[in-house]
Chain A
């Protein structure tokens, strides 16, 4: 059965080396800060040769969009900038000057779901949570939480335009049945944190999230949890009842593994209504 009401354990990943802000036995709310650290670490490749100028050195703080290096193009006729993809600092530049390692700035990692701290591990804090845990059919994305926003039917495309807008910012959007995968970039633009739906077509979704697509493994898109299946599937009646009662409440959504596609779990994508 998909619905598992009661008490269960939920793991919240924290970066290794982060400072933990809770102790075993602490009761936490969704917005309680449980650790401070950074998960982002990216390698930016520099072009071969030495026809570029580095504007930053290791240890320098950087802002998203800030220029890190300037390169000559077209035999010196043009210039190209290498900009930072995130806030943070320059961790290192390798000796051959072929790559820059950028780490994200420290940020607060929140519990996202109310519960009791059970164990503290080097990379995970386990919480005891009371509520409903719904296992998804397919999904991806970082753990996130937001108020549940009922969108009804997000089909056809005209309905998507009519129903979605700035109101979904920070919300987890629930669509009753089939949605168009093109909804995901729209939700991303409006800064929604998640989408729960009954079903969607795998083909156009794969065009978005495949390694060759614009959002590899769903990076840059809101967290997705498909509860029914691929194609025109609806959310099961029990799950629909639970989610129906949670309208306006804060719910937790998570893909199986952040930053990577997992077709067949475990782990599975999930929705937690606590």
Chain B
């Protein structure tokens, strides 16, 4: 085997992808096998290895492994009313280290018995205490851990205020207690020690699981750590990332699984991370005002309301059929969509998760790094791959996050960017910041005049009309100079209210999408109009047939 060649393994929570590596870069396409939350043994990879023409390969041929399965599950304890910042920092560090959140604990001290029951139910590999515990709670935790043996001991990490000791936990065989410097020093977050402690925990746990699966000695990283590293690499040097007056994050790297999405946003020298899940087990729910019910959940409980999903679909169908398709997508997360309806429902579910993530980001992380305000959105993960189309995946990213301003959207269908490649740009989306569209008022005055100058003196001039979505084609490999002239003084495309935005844009499979649905986008109440507008949006992304695109009436070309 030549230097820099071999195989790379990407173990997701639902499927595993094997890549051939040439010149230290994974080559596309990869080959997948189903994993269902565990690390597959080398023998289980045989179908994928046959597809790649490497049936003889052994575990020693894997030159890099990135895994989401086999990472430790961690429970974070703390009362969000007392010290939300410590919980925020710990949750973000956990995702950046690559651990998995076991779930939120009841923070009400009056319910310490419930706390222990929930801890036993979650059965985490580690518990992080962001605040000291004492009294009944400490006694009950000690009693719970006293029933454990050294073989299944729980790692307890204390990163709360200095000066507290948990003597009752120190000499228990079932507890490995470590106290690290506080996550908050003088009121400011200090991520370093918590991140390092969690990285050590993840590395030791994942290393053990990989060795047990037959990959001992192979270089590896957790999916979270690889995603954070990729986000930093794609965002470029720190000096390019932040400007004092900047209110927009430079890049958002999203790992989208069928029932969960995790966003990584470089900020300063570090990365802000948060996750949202369809069953309310994301880190954004740790700071939720009501623990029993995540915001945005419908009458159906943790899952989004079927009517919310229906509002994101261009289908003339009943909520009961949407529920059946959504349920099938949850029960079989490893299976790709077998019909257009199924793919559209899966995409709507992804949009709901992303919308939940964006809506709760400011409270759970910080306002400056909201994924909805990133300049570049890069999406990867099987939650996007199983949609079967890069275009549908891009539409789900835009539909869920509703980015404003000029936003580049890239989709990494195979997840190879986690192993070092650069994902392809699919679309550039244009939409004014914080301007809602009233669907009941027929307005034809444009919001902006958009000019695209290509290198060979070709000029495209379009109007961005409120309530309409249109496309200026700009193919992959092409680039152009974009000018957006707002027609109203309050409209802001990223250069300030009423000011002209100018910049270079790169083309992709879709081109420039002129999104006139407003931000936040509230779909029309009239079901017929809502479906027509949804079709128009999906036609702009090339998901639906050109006939629908013609029917939707894209923006008029003024001159070219």
Contact = CB atoms under 8 A, between A and B. Distances in A.
B136 A95 contact: yes
Nearest to B326: A202
A225 to B, nearest CB: 13
Contacts of A94: 112-113, 136
Given A45-B110, A230-B323, 10 more contacts: A48-B110, A94-B113, A98-B110, A203-B323, A204-B320, A206-B327, A231-B324, A264-B36, A264-B332, A264-B333
A98 B290 CA distance: 20
B375 to A, nearest CB: 35
Contacts, number: 87
A204 B324 CA distance: 10
Interface string A83-114: 00000000000111011010000000000000
A43 interface: yes
B558 interface: no
Interface string A183-206: 000000000000000000111101
Given A137-B331, A263-B331, A230 B300 contact: no
Contact of B324 (A101, A202, A211, A213): A202
Q: Which 10 A-B pairs have the closest CB atoms?
A: A210-B301, A203-B323, A202-B327, A230-B324, A263-B330, A231-B324, A43-B113, A211-B301, A212-B301, A98-B110
B331 A264 contact: yes
Interface of B: 14, 36, 110-114, 117, 121, 136, 259, 292-293, 299-303, 306, 319-328, 330-334
B313 to A, nearest CB: 14
Contact of B300 (A99, A137, A212): A212
A201 B325 CA distance: 10
15 contacts: A43-B113, A45-B111, A94-B113, A99-B110, A99-B111, A99-B114, A202-B327, A203-B324, A206-B303, A210-B302, A212-B301, A230-B324, A230-B328, A264-B14, A265-B36
Contacts of B328: 202, 229-230
A96 B300 contact: no
A96 B110 contact: yes
B456 to A, nearest CB: 51
Interface of A: 41, 43, 45, 48, 94-96, 98-99, 101, 137-138, 201-204, 206-207, 210-213, 229-231, 260, 263-266
A43 B320 contact: no
Given A210-B301, A264-B331, A202 B114 contact: no
A201 B323 contact: yes
Given A98-B110, A99-B113, A231 B301 contact: no
Secondary structure of the A contact surface, majority rule: loop
Contacts of B293: 211-212
Contacts of B332: 264
Contacts of B333: 263-264
Nearest to A262: B331
Nearest to B327: A202
B117 A43 contact: yes
Contacts of B111: 43, 45, 98-99
Contacts of A231: 321, 324
Nearest to B121: A260
A99 B113 CA distance: 7
A210 B304 CA distance: 11
A99 B361 CA distance: 34
Nearest to A43: B113
Most buried by A among B292, B323, B326, B333: B323
A73 to B, nearest CB: 19
Contacts of A203: 300, 306, 319-320, 322-324, 327
Contact of A213 (B117, B121, B301): B301
Contacts of B36: 264-266
A96 B108 CA distance: 13
Contacts of A213: 301
Contacts of A137: 331
B327 to A, nearest CB: 3
Nearest to B147: A16
B331 A43 contact: no
A95 B319 CA distance: 49
A156 to B, nearest CB: 15
Nearest to A199: B324
B18 to A, nearest CB: 22
Most buried by B among A48, A98, A207: A98
A137 B332 CA distance: 9
A263 B113 CA distance: 28
Nearest to A44: B113
Contacts of B320: 201, 203-204
B330 A264 contact: yes
A206 B328 CA distance: 13
Most buried by A among B114, B299, B326, B331: B331
